Structure 1
Amino acid sequence: MKVVAFARKEQGSGASRRLRNAGMTPGIIYGGTEAPITVSLDHNALFHALKKEAFHSSILDMEIDGAVQQVLLRDFQMHAFKPIVMHVDFQRVDATHKIHVKVPLHFVNAEVSPAVKLSAAVISHVMNEVDVTCLPKDLPEFIEVDLSNIAAGESIHLSNVKLPQGVSLVAHGDDLTVATASIPAGSKSDAAEGEAAAE
């Protein structure tokens, strides 16, 4: 994804306010061997880009005054109650150094799982993203979690998630739960009543 930014020289809250009044969002780019630089971005383009999942978990081509460098979105601040992006942070990416990023999980095949087909279970997504480390070229836009084999009462853990080549999880100690399949309380009592009536 490509992002266009403009180098800015004016600093301070007054300068930032003037930028926002002109439809721009102040930002900063840091990391790597170069010094941090302050930039401004078109607010509306940035606001719409932030709605896209890929913008948060992809290497971005940042063009500043004609020169392109690769960056990752690291943080952004929204206004307390208005749909306004107040500030945005990007980190430079070095192709030879591993990066640490949160990547979204996409859950697939729930409808064909034994939990749903045979038991009318409800599958709950406990995690929606995972911490991974990899080289920039290996960064996935998302990681799929295959639910086709989950049965009622079972859970899928991080150790069950198939990672793309070159990508490894950032260990947090435990084998955390990613998704669970449980039968709703009402379904159990309905089934019991049905059995009693049959007898």
Structure 2
Amino acid sequence: MQITVKASRRTEQGTRASRRLRRAGRVPGIVYGGDKAPQPITLDHNEIYHQLNNEAFHASILMLEIDGERESVLLRDAQWHAYKPLVLHVDFQRVSANEKIHLNVPLHFIGAEESPAVKLGGCIVSHVLTEVEVRCLPKDLPEYLTVDLSGLQPEQSLHLSQLSLPPGVEIVHHGEGDPVVATALKVRGEAEGEGGEAAAS
């Protein structure tokens, strides 16, 4: 489902203008990129506040509607008040259908309760990563990646290279090695109990 963000063009800029907008229940923002000049915009605070609390909003191609004109964008940044539930500023980037994009997408974990690690090994599964950066064309962007843990063995880890990816999607990894995505950890009490049984026998 396409998420639509409604906005208006913003002509006044500067700190004072931004304060006036916020007092009026509006949020200043900007959309940039592509072959167009950056466009300052304003958005309804309540609407963008609720959208920012939707996980899919952060990992989807959004339809930005500015005074009736529509263009595809990505959310690039949202600035929040230090301690109040207030959105202070939002940045969007225009996207082209023919250019690959980089975006962090969330990981959704399934199957842990059915895994040998949990059912037979008495382990708990720790999620080391909760999102990964992917590279793909806008049409191939997944809302999230599913991580199947049903085959996880006791004290075994699942690594980034083992994730199943949709067609056209590749993972972008900065750094060396093959990061751990999830790992099955032995519960301390059970590990100690097994040690005690071994000593007693």
The aligned counterpart of 2:156 is 154
The aligned counterpart of 1:106 is 108
Q: How far apart in 2 are the matches of 1:193 and 1:182? A: 19
Q: What secondary structure, in the 3-state scheme, does the structure 1 residue paired with 2:192 have?
A: helix
Q: State yes or no: 1:176 paired with 2:179.
A: yes
The aligned counterpart of 2:83 is 81
Task: Report deviation, 1:3.
Answer: 0.7
Match of 2:124, as an amino acid?
Answer: V
* Correspondent of 1:191 among 183, 189, 194: 194
Q: How does 1:54-93 map to 2 (within 5 A)?
A: 54-93=56-95
Task: Report deviation, 1:191.
Answer: 3.2
Q: How far apart in 2 are the matches of 1:174 and 1:13? A: 45
Task: Report deviation, 1:186.
Answer: 1.5
5+ residue gaps, structure 2, are none
Q: How does 1:127-138 map to 2 (within 5 A)?
A: 127-138=129-140
| Overall identity of the aligned pairs, in % | 56
Q: What is the TM-score when the length of structure 1 is the normalising length?
A: 0.96
CA RMSD of aligned residues (A): 1.2
Q: How does 1:21-36 map to 2 (within 5 A)?
A: 21-36=23-38
5+ residue gaps, structure 1, are none
Task: Report deviation, 1:37.
Answer: 0.3
Q: Deviations for 1:51-94, whole angstroms, at most 9, x for unmatched residues?
A: 11000000000100111100000001100111100000000010
Match of 2:104, as an amino acid?
Answer: K
Greater mean alpha carbon deviation, residues 106-115 or residues 167-176: 167-176
Match of 2:191, as an amino acid?
Answer: K
Q: How far apart in 2 are the matches of 1:97 and 1:36? A: 19
* Correspondent of 1:42 among 17, 41, 44: 44
Q: How far apart in 1 are the matches of 2:193 and 2:49? A: 48
Q: How far apart in 2 are the matches of 1:178 and 1:43? A: 35
Q: What secondary structure, in the 3-state scheme, does the structure 2 residue paired with 1:87 have?
A: strand
Task: Report deviation, 1:184.
Answer: 1.5
Task: Report deviation, 1:170.
Answer: 1.0
Kindly tell me the number of residue pairs found equivalent between the two proteins. Answer: 198
Q: What secondary structure, in the 3-state scheme, does the structure 2 residue paired with 1:89 have?
A: strand
Task: Report deviation, 1:196.
Answer: 6.0
Task: Report deviation, 1:193.
Answer: 3.8
